[in-house]
């Protein structure tokens, strides 16, 4: 469908629809996190692994969705569900990135937990977290790859803009799938013996070698080479979020209702950043946006619309989070303080997202790098650490923690 440089009323409706689904879905995810807080007592390092693990899923598959959207807008991909070489290259490269950074996530989470003093056995914890990360990657990929293709192609065929629907919903699915699978994988891995863990690590190595030899086209190599340094930065940023949560682990366990809000708050912010970045990417590819340092008036208009959307959505996050906590008897704070926390922290992070979405898109485009591989992953990951910091800051200012 044709794009306009200014968001239309239909664009806002599409965004609100996708973000509403994100909010409801991630409150379910937050409920899982709040109710599963006892697992953190069993494997304390797990709370450090959660942000980069969930972020990796969102970064890889939102970039996949954004690339598919750009292909559809520019005619490189027909709106059909039939397999084709371009789609296959995107899928294989996404799988390879998931496996590679699953290992990185496991090792880094164990190391950070060790230095924070919440991991007493570095080697065992490292093996456990690598297995947890890789099991989560395989299971989630089996669901998220077809979901991403279905959303991108299906929304385009239906007359919707995939930039407004694919990325928020895919990242929502990523969060909803990642946490339950990650918790289940943790319980499974902790109960397995050394021999079984050795076999599992060997199987992961074989699968990685197969994917490495399969990624041999120009398109897939470009995706992997452009994505690796960006995902490395994203992983580092996501571990900042995990470190902040790990440092306040005792307080979050004491008031588990605060954990319930975390996925929805971070997801909505990351989704709005993803919508902006995907929109700017499509406009750049179509030649409707000039990559210059000073944004056009239409860009500022887009920012203003997204801030209004953010005010509504972050209010919803606070209200829905409070209701869920009360109904399920999860320890929480007052409704007014909860809404104030999400509103203030949300608007602060939106100013940062505005600048990042625009400048990462235009700078990467001017350098000849696909913005779909750069802007969305960095924004989503930066949102995790900055959003967590803003959330904790608001909680501290209001005297909650």
Which tens digits make up the pLDDT trace of 372-392?
666 666 776 677 777 777 888
Q: CA 315, CA 91: separation in Å to the nearest integer?
A: 36
- As a whole number of angstroms, the distance between CA 2 and CA 8 comes to 12
Q: What's the CA gap between 101 and 248, in Å, rounded?
A: 26
Q: State residue 284's pLDDT score.
A: 80
257-285 vs 9-35: helix crossing angle, rounded to 10: 150
Which pLDDT score is estimated for 256?
A: 61
Q: Where are the alpha helices (DSSP H) in 286-334?
A: 297-327
Residue listed under structure tokens 């279905």: 150
Give phi and psi for 227, each to the nearest 5.
-80, -30
Residues 6+ apart with CB under 8 A from 19: 168, 268, 271, 272, 309, 313
Q: What is the pLDDT of residue 176?
A: 73
Number of H helices, E strands in the chain: 13, 0
Please tell me the distance from the alpha carbon of residue 357 to that of residue 288, in angstroms, as a whole number.
Answer: 16
Q: What's the distance, CA 27 to chain centroid?
A: 15
Q: Residue length, the chain?
A: 401
The whole-angstrom separation of Cα 12 and Cα 24 is 18
Spatial distance between the Cα atoms of 93 and 81, rounded to a whole number of angstroms:
19
User: How far apart are the C-alpha atoms of 358 and 295, rounded to whole Å?
Assistant: 8
Distance CA 154, CA 66 (A): 14
For helices 46-74 and 375-397, give the axis angle rounded to 10 degrees: 140
- Residues in the chain, pLDDT under 50: 1
Query: pLDDT at position 168, please?
Result: 67
Q: Residue 280: left if φ>0, alpha if ψ -120 to 50, beta else—which one? A: alpha
Give the list of residues 6+ apart from residue 227 with CB closer than 8 angstroms, or none.
60, 63, 93, 97, 373, 377
Residue-level pLDDT at 2: 54
Chain center to CA of 139: 16
pTM across the whole model? 0.63
Residue 367, Cβ neighbours under 10 Å: how many? 10
Task: Assess contact for 10 and 201: CB atoms under 8 A.
Answer: no
Picking from 200, 273, 246, the residue whose alpha carbon sits closest to that of residue 52 is 246
Q: What is the DSSP letter of 371?
A: G
Residue written as tokens 């006892």?
38
Cβ neighbors of 331 (< 8 A, separation 6 or more) are 254, 255, 256, 257, 325
Answer yes or no: are the C-beta atoms of 112 and 170 closer than 8 Å: no
Contact assessment for residue 308 and residue 55, using Cβ atoms and an 8 Å cutoff: no
| 269-283 burial code (b ≥16 CB/10 A, e <16) | bbbbbbbbbbbbbbb
> Are residues 41 and 362 in contact, defined by beta-carbon separation less than 8 angstroms?
no
- The answer to whether the CB of 260 falls within 8 A of the CB of 23 is no
């Amino acid at each position: 469908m044709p794009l306009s440089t200014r968001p239309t009323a239909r664009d806002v409706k599409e965004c609100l629809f996708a973000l509403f689904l994100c909010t409801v879905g991630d409150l379910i995810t937050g409920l899982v996190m709040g109710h599963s807080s006892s697992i953190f007592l069993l494997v304390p390092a797990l709370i450090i692994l959660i942000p980069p693990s969930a972020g990796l899923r969102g970064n890889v598959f939102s970039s996949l969705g954004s690339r598919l959207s750009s292909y559809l807008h520019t005619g490189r991909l027909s709106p059909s569900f039939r397999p084709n070489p371009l789609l296959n290259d995107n899928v294989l490269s996404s799988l390879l990135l998931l496996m590679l950074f699953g290992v990185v996530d496991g090792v880094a989470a164990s190391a950070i937990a060790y230095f924070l003093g919440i991991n007493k056995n570095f080697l065992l914890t490292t093996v456990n977290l690598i297995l947890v990360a890789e099991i989560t990657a395989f299971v989630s990929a089996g669901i998220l790859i077809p979901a991403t293709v279905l959303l991108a192609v299906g929304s385009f065929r239906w007359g919707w803009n995939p930039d407004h629907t694919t990325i928020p919903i895919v990242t929502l699915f990523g969060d909803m799938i990642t946490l339950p699978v990650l918790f289940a994988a943790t319980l499974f891995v902790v109960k397995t013996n050394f021999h079984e863990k050795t076999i599992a690590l060997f199987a992961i190595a074989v699968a990685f070698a197969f994917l490495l030899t399969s990624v041999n086209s120009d398109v897939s190599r470009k995706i992997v080479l452009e994505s690796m340094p960006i995902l490395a930065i994203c992983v580092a940023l996501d571990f900042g979020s995990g470190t902040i949560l790990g440092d306040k682990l005792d307080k979050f366990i004491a008031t588990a209702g605060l954990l319930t809000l975390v996925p929805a708050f971070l997801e909505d912010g990351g989704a709005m950043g993803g919508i902006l970045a995907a929109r700017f990417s499509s406009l750049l590819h179509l030649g409707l946006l000039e990559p210059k340092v000073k944004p056009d008036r239409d860009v500022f208009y887009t920012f203003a619309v997204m801030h209004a959307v953010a005010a509504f959505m972050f209010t919803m996050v606070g209200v829905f989070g409070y209701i869920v906590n009360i109904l399920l008897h999860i320890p929480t704070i007052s409704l007014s303080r909860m809404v104030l926390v999400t509103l203030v922290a949300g608007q602060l992070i939106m100013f940062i997202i505005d600048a990042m979405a625009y400048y990462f898109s235009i700078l990467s485009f001017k350098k000849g790098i696909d913005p779909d591989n750069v802007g969305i992953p960095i924004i989503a990951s930066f949102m995790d650490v900055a959003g967590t910091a803003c959330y904790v800051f608001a909680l501290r200012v209001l005297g909650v923690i």
